[in-house]
């Protein structure tokens, strides 16, 4: 399988705290790639460094041959790397539909002049954008809430809306930061089905998740972080039996 | 005739009635309230333009700008310098007005660029400083080279003139005698219509959504592919353009500009208009601008009222009107915190909760 994302020796520190130290791994096209680790291991920092919200101190990041190192978030999104947030970050006072339409910002072009003149191109683009957004809302199963404000959606629906917004940019790689957090078993199942069906359509997914059952069941490969360093990488089966991983989760004595 | 057609003809009918009402308004106001109120009406229209401009920056993009009056000043001085005996220039208005608006837009970007990383209170402080800097510049640019004529201001500014038809003096039009404030009323009405049109089109556009997205969550907006730097600068520039436009119109209408007209209180008043009316909602902002311009004028009559009631004036109407205005604002914030006409999002929210 071809490599899609190549992360090489990425480091990030905040003052004296080393949040990430020389983290390297590759994500292959069409897989679901898990990022796990105990609390504070640097998982979200890794996502932020990859998607441009933090500037990494050193290293190399490439998506499909294009360097993402120290690019701005909107540039990274445009190259095809979309993400969701651990603590849901929606545009609360916009409708669900508008949220997804914002997600299509980089795939649309109308500027001020086009909007003022309502050019034929602009009208068509707006129509297509709304239709595409509606389709995505239906896809994640919240089409009936299209005209509700994002803040009025239930917790699980907000998570799904965030995924729809990320999908609107037509990414090659979608990074989900704890998408199942706070979901009930039914919602988790629906999420799992969604991820599997997205993979079957050729999308590559990265996943930070604490629900071990979900991660082990769905991920093709994983990387395990602890104290900002990679301690293991491989299939769920190999990672599960890695003594370093067991030590990180359960303490050194158990592993020994 | 089906329902839709009936509805459409109804819309056209009410639009037509509104237009006739707006055209007749200065005559009704003059007959009912006196000549001075036509001028007040003109100012209300100017403030509508200003408020709609600030609404783009504060209401849509969520960037609290307390120095907005600076752009008004830039537009006004641009006109004053290019169409007055001060430099002996008299350029036609169709040249100055776009120049003033463009210059204001440039100042908008100049203010926006260094403040891109700031939000909320911090941005408010910096913009407040910017507004004061512009005013103090105008106040002191009379030496060593006299550019702005300092605190004395610039006088004898040319009125708007179209093919020799000056709006600065009383004119006969179709047998009607129209004084200068009447003539300006119609010019301002056209400009307000233009500004409303631009606001409406932008509100429901890709750019408008990007502005609101930045207001709601800047980090998520960036992660959704919005170039937050450019889109914020665009908001500053668009808002400033409206400010510059109304500034130019103000200078020509007033015939006189001085730094005093562009103090911090003006910025606060414009902000009060959009907060009072309903931030982010065009019609709310218009209503807010009208009320904030009209109420203090109406409260001038409290002097007459006192004289009628007590035989003498106990409280100076000028003091009283600010007091009453302040109370009105406080009450508004208690009972209608989202403004008189809340933005459509708020309305949708209420509609959802109802059933």
- Per-residue model confidence as pLDDT tens digits over B100-130: 999 999 999 999 999 888 888 899 999 999 9
Nearest by CB to B224, from A95, A103, A152: name it.
Answer: A103
How far is Cα of residue A67 from the mean position of the Cα atoms in its chain? 18
pLDDT-based confidence at residue B355 (cuts at 50, 70, 90): very low
C-beta atoms of A89 and B348 within 8 A = no
How far is Cα of residue A173 from the mean position of the Cα atoms in its chain? 8
C-beta atoms of B221 and A90 within 8 A = no
pLDDT tens digits for B208-263?
A: 999 999 999 999 999 999 999 999 999 999 999 999 999 999 999 998 999 999 99
What domain count does chain B have?
A: 1
Hey, is the C-beta of B222 within 8 angstroms of any chain A C-beta?
yes
Number of A to B CB contacts under 8 A, please give it: 108
Query: A208: part of which helix (H) or strand (E)?
Result: strand A204-208
The helix/strand/coil state of B165 is strand
Q: Does residue B209 fall inside a structural domain?
A: yes
CA distance B4 to B336: 34
Mean pLDDT of B84-97: 84
> Which tokens is B84 given?
């007055």
pLDDT tens digits for A172-208?
A: 999 999 998 888 888 899 999 999 999 999 999 999 9
The helix/strand/coil state of B334 is helix
The pLDDT score that the predictor gives to residue B335 is 86
For residue B353, the chain A residue with the least C-alpha distance is A152
Mean pLDDT of A152-161: 92
Q: What ranges in chain B are assigned the alpha helix state H? A: 3-33, 36-54, 69-82, 93-112, 120-140, 180-203, 206-216, 218-223, 228-254, 264-277, 282-298, 302-310, 317-335, 344-353
Q: Does residue B235 fall inside a structural domain?
A: yes
Crossing angle of helices B282-298 and B264-277, rounded to 10°: 120
Q: Does residue B244 fall inside a structural domain?
A: yes
C-beta atoms of A118 and B217 within 8 A = no
Scored b (16 or more CB within 10 A) or e, B88-101 reads: eeeeebeebbebbb
pLDDT-based confidence at residue B1 (cuts at 50, 70, 90): low
CA distance B33 to B152: 32
CA distance B162 to B167: 8
Hey, is the C-beta of A145 within 8 angstroms of any chain B C-beta?
no
**Which of B297, B295, B282 lies closest to B326, judged by CA?**
B295
The helix/strand/coil state of B117 is coil
By percentage, how much of chain B surpasses pLDDT 90?
48
The pLDDT score that the predictor gives to residue B301 is 80
Q: Does residue B40 fall inside a structural domain?
A: yes
DSSP B154: B
Q: Using an 8 Å Cβ cutoff, are A89 and A180 in contact?
A: no
Mutation site for B-interface testing, chosen from A50, A71, A74, A84 by largest number of B Cβ within 10 Å: A74
Q: Using an 8 Å Cβ cutoff, are A78 and A106 in contact?
A: yes
A89-98, B104-113, B137-146, B208-217: segment of lowest average pLDDT: B137-146
- pLDDT at A244 exceeding the cut of 60: yes
For residue B196, the chain A residue with the least C-alpha distance is A116
Q: Using an 8 Å Cβ cutoff, are B223 and A73 in contact?
A: yes
The pLDDT score that the predictor gives to residue B345 is 56
pLDDT-based confidence at residue A254 (cuts at 50, 70, 90): low
* HEC-encoded secondary structure of B118-148: CCHHHHHHHHHHHHHHHHHHHHHCCCCCCCC
The pLDDT score that the predictor gives to residue B334 is 86
Q: Does residue B309 fall inside a structural domain?
A: no
Tell me the shortest Cα–Cα distance from A35 to chain B, in angstroms.
20
Partners of B154 in the beta sheet? B257
CA distance B65 to A149: 27
Range among A189-193, B167-171, B350-354 with highest mean pLDDT value: A189-193
Q: Does residue B163 fall inside a structural domain?
A: yes
Partners of A81 in the beta sheet? A173
- pLDDT at B354 exceeding the cut of 50: no
- pLDDT at B274 exceeding the cut of 60: yes
pLDDT tens digits for B193-209?
A: 999 999 999 999 999 99
Give ipTM to 2 decimals. Answer: 0.91
Q: Does residue B316 fall inside a structural domain?
A: no
- pLDDT at A77 exceeding the cut of 70: yes
CA distance A13 to B150: 53
> Which tokens is B326 given?
């302040």
Query: A212: part of which helix (H) or strand (E)?
Result: helix A212-218
Q: Does residue B97 fall inside a structural domain?
A: yes
Backbone angles phi, psi at B313, to 5 degrees: -95, 115
Domain of B213 in residue numbering reads as 24-263
> In degrees to the nearest 10, what's the CA dihedral of A161, A165, A170, A173?
-80
């Amino acid at each position: 399988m071809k490599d899609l994302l190549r992360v090489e020796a990425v480091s990030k520190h905040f003052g004296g705290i080393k949040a990430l130290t020389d983290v390297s791994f590759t994500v292959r096209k069409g897989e679901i790639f898990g990022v796990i680790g105990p609390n504070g291991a640097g998982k979200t920092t890794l996502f932020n460094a990859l998607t441009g919200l933090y500037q990494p101190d050193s290293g190399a990041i490439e998506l499909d041959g294009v360097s993402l190192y120290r690019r701005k978030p909107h540039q990274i999104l445009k190259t095809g790397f979309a993400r969701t947030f651990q603590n849901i970050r929606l545009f609360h006072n916009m409708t669900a539909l508008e949220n997804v339409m914002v997600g299509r910002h980089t795939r649309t072009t109308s500027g001020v002049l086009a909007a003022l003149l309502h050019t034929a191109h602009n009208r068509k683009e707006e129509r297509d954008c709304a239709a595409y957004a509606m389709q995505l809302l239906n896809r994640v199963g919240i089409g009936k809430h299209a005209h509700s404000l994002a803040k009025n959606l239930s917790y699980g629906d907000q998570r799904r809306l965030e995924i729809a917004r990320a999908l609107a940019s037509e990414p090659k790689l979608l990074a989900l930061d704890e998408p199942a957090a706070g979901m009930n078993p039914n919602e988790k199942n629906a999420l799992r089905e969604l991820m599997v069906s997205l993979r079957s359509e050729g999308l590559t997914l990265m996943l930070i998740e604490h629900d071990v059952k979900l991660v082990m069941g769905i991920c093709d490969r994983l990387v395990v972080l602890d104290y900002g360093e990679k301690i293991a990488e491989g299939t769920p089966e190999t990672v599960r039996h890695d003594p370093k991983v067991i030590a990180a989760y359960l303490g050194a004595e158990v592993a020994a | 005739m089906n329902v839709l057609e009936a509805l459409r003809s109804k819309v056209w009918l009410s639009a037509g009635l509104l237009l006739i009402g707006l055209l007749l308004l200065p005559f009704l106001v003059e007959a009912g309230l006196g000549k001075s109120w036509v001028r007040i009406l003109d100012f209300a229209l100017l403030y509508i333009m200003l408020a709609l401009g600030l609404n783009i920056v504060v209401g849509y993009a969520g960037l609290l700008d307390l120095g907005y009056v600076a752009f008004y000043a830039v537009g006004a001085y641009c006109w004053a310098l290019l169409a007055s005996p001060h430099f002996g220039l008299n350029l036609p208005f169709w040249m100055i007005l776009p120049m003033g608006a463009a210059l204001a837009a440039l100042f908008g970007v100049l203010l926006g660029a260094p403040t891109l990383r700031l939000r909320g209170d911090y941005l408010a402080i910096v913009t407040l400083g910017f507004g004061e800097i512009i005013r103090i510049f105008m106040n002191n640019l009379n030496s060593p080279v006299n550019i702005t004529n300092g605190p004395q201001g610039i006088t004898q500014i040319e009125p708007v003139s179209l093919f020799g038809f000056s709006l600065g003096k009383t004119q006969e039009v179709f047998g009607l005698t129209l004084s200068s404030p009447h003539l300006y009323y119609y010019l301002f009405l056209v400009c307000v219509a233009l500004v409303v049109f631009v606001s409406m089109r932008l509100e429901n556009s890709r750019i408008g959504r990007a502005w609101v997205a930045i207001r709601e969550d800047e980090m998520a907006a960036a992660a959704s592919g919005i170039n937050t730097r450019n889109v914020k600068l665009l908001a500053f520039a668009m808002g400033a353009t409206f400010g510059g436009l109304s500034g130019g119109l103000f200078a020509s209408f007033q015939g006189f500009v001085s730094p005093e007209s562009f103090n911090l209180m003006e910025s606060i008043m414009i902000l009060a208009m959009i907060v009072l009316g309903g931030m982010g909602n065009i019609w709310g902002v218009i209503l807010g601008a009208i009320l904030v311009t009209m109420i203090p004028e109406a409260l001038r009559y409290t002097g007459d009222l006192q004289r009628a009631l007590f035989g003498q004036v106990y409280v100076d109407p000028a003091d009283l009107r600010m007091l009453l205005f302040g109370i009105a604002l406080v009450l508004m914030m208690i009972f209608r915190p989202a403004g008189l006409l809340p933005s459509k999002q708020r309305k949708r929210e209420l509609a959802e909760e109802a059933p």
